[in-house]
Amino acid sequence: MKVLALKRISRNVARLETAAAFYAAALGCQSFGEAMEDASLAAQLGVTSVRLLRMRLGAQEIELSECVPPGAPYPVSAVANDLRFQHIAVVTADIAAAYAQATAHGAVPITIGGPQQLPDSSGSVIAWKFRDPDGHPLELLQFPKQSAPGFNHTAISVANVEKSIAFYQGLGLTKAEVTLNHGITQDALDGLKGAVADVVALQPPRATPHIELLHYRAPARRAFAGVRAADIAADRVVFVASHAGFRRDPDGHFVVFEPEP
């Protein structure tokens, strides 16, 4: 199996209309097409039915899916060093305005003290992490230079960074930037104390959003407690690939492969 591009992030939600309203109002996502039933995805997730809606965020795509029967809700105790953690990082040209818009529409802060200016070693970006109404983590990013709106990457917490790098390189991704993030600003960003994290960017062959691995040296990583495919915490990274498939990475994150049309 070889991937070509990151096509979309697909996340389960408790109520499709509620989630879609939040993503539209808080982030400016725009739906394309109508909500639809997807029997193939329902079979893949092991549920009776799935109703989904696809939304545009800049040039990128986010899919929201409501399962019947519903999976487990997002655990309220899950934090950034929990191995089920996966966020979507959204690019904005004006993080102050985007922060105000998201909070006005119900975003729940993860970051302490509002948007944080990260040091040069972490790219000099301004960042803020938060949760949607279902508990999914997201991040706002403002880069030093103007960047196109959309989502920049999806980040996942991993237990063994070399094992995860090998898995994604085996799919055709290339290791790009590697940083070690720590300090007071990182603690505030993650809502943790004493955070020390290896951050590894993995780029698909095509210039699409990428994956970032978050390997927390501290605090101690928290176990991935048997997340099922229909659970709210079970985000799916959907790649354009040589052929169709469905896998879990070394930490249990869900990876879907779709052939090009």
Residue 147: band (very low, low, confident or very high) from pLDDT cuts 50, 70, 90: confident
SS3 at position 68: strand
Q: Are 135 and 107 in contact (CB under 8 A)?
A: no
| The pLDDT of residue 259 | 93
Strand 137-142 relative to strand 86-91, pairing: parallel
The reported pLDDT for the residue numbered 122 is 62
The answer to whether residue 261 scores a pLDDT higher than 80 is: no
Average pLDDT over residues 77-86: 88
Tens of pLDDT, residues 202-256: 999 998 899 999 999 999 877 666 789 999 999 999 999 988 999 999 999 999 9
* Other CB atoms within 10 Å distance of the CB of residue 97: 10
Which backbone phi and psi does 168 adopt, to 5 degrees?
Answer: -75, -30
pLDDT-derived band at 121 (thresholds 50, 70, 90) equals low
Average pLDDT, the chain: 93
Q: Express each pLDDT in 83-97 by its tens digit.
A: 889 999 999 999 999
**CA–CA dist 152, 140 (Å, integer):** 10
Give per-residue pLDDT as tens, 5-54. Answer: 999 999 999 999 999 999 999 999 999 889 999 999 999 999 999 999 99
Q: Which CATH number fits domain 1-261: 3.90.1150.10, 3.40.50.720, 3.10.180.10, 3.60.15.10?
A: 3.10.180.10
Domain ranges of the chain: 1-261
User: What pLDDT, on the 0 to 100 scale, is given for residue 144?
Assistant: 86
In the prediction, which pLDDT does 208 show? 84
Q: What percent of the chain has a predicted confidence (pLDDT) above 70?
A: 97
CA atoms of 184 and 197, how far apart (whole Å): 13
Give me Rg for the CA atoms of the chain: 17
- What is the model's pLDDT at position 28? 95
Please report the pLDDT score of residue 118 as a whole number: 87
